[in-house]
A = this chain, B = another copy of it.
Amino acid sequence: MADDADFMERAYALARDSFEEGGLPIGAVLVRDGRVIGAGHNERIQKGDPIAHGEMACLRDAGRQRSYRDTTLYTTLSPCMMCAGTIVQFGIPRVVIGENRTFGGNEDFLRARGVEVTLLDDPRCKALMKRVIEERPQDWFEDIGAA
């Protein structure tokens, strides 16, 4: 879908902003009816906040929602177990993932719980992650609990 590429572009721009701030380059947007209702990027470095993965910062930004049944979450990187658990808990029915080569493994967990998972395999998302892992590996491994 053309829409998916457009919203991933928004998520990628947030990832790039975070990279330029010295943070981890993972961005996310939450979409309802073709409109972005929440947007965020990883803020572990910027705010010293270990739960602020891109998806979590995005959901926080969206604020309280009565339901997520009509939303799609776009994230530049495949969700970790925290973010995958949150997607299931919140009842988000569809997740579009930029890439899962750098980090992945929870796609089946999501699918088994009824979440539609679309993988774009976006080369720009991969290139940005590759760069941060090469330049600042300690930040990345701390973020995924592998320090």
**Residues of A participating in the B interface, judged by any CB pair closer than 8 Å:** 44, 48-52, 56, 59-60, 62-68, 80-86, 88-91, 142, 144-145, 147
Contacts and interface: CB of A to CB of B under 8 A. Distances in A.
A136 B111 CA distance: 33
A60 B65 contact: no
Residue with the greatest number of chain B CB neighbours at <10 A, chosen from A59, A81, A83: A81
Given A59-B50, A59-B51, A60-B51, A147 B66 contact: yes
Given A142-B64, A142-B66, A50 B90 contact: yes
Contacts of A62: 50
B88 A63 contact: no
A90 B85 contact: no
Contacts of A64: 44, 48, 50, 142
Contacts of A142: 64, 66
Contact of A48 (B63, B67, B82): B63
